[in-house]
Copies of this chain bind each other. A is one copy, B any other.
Amino acid sequence: MSSRHLLLDPHAQDLLFRKARTAHAFTGEPVDDELLAAVHELVKWAPTSFNQQPLRIVLVRSDEARRRLVPLMWDCNQAKTATAPLVAVLGADLGFHEYLPEQFPAFPQAKDVFFSNDDVRCESAVLNASIQIGYFILGVRAAGLAVGPMTGFQADKVSAEFFPDGRHRALAVINMGRPSTGAWFDRLPRLPYDRVFTSC
Contacts and interface: CB of A to CB of B under 8 A. Distances in A.
A41 B151 contact: no
Nearest to A134: B134
A124 interface: yes
A51 interface: yes
Nearest to A136: B134
Interface of A: 1-3, 5-9, 11-13, 15-18, 20, 22, 33-47, 49, 51, 53, 55-62, 65, 99, 102-106, 124, 126-128, 130-135, 137-138, 142-144, 147, 149-152, 162, 171-172, 185, 188-191, 193, 196-200
A149 B128 CA distance: 11
A11 B33 CA distance: 24
B102 A1 contact: no
Nearest to A194: B37
Stoichiometry, copies per complex: 2
Given A36-B197, A57-B197, A138-B135, A16 B8 contact: yes
Nearest to A143: B6
A53 to B, nearest CB: 5
Nearest to A130: B130
A143 B69 CA distance: 39
A75 to B, nearest CB: 13
24 contacts: A2-B41, A6-B142, A7-B15, A7-B142, A7-B143, A8-B142, A17-B42, A20-B46, A22-B47, A36-B197, A37-B197, A44-B196, A46-B138, A53-B196, A58-B197, A58-B198, A61-B199, A102-B189, A103-B189, A103-B191, A124-B151, A127-B171, A130-B134, A134-B135
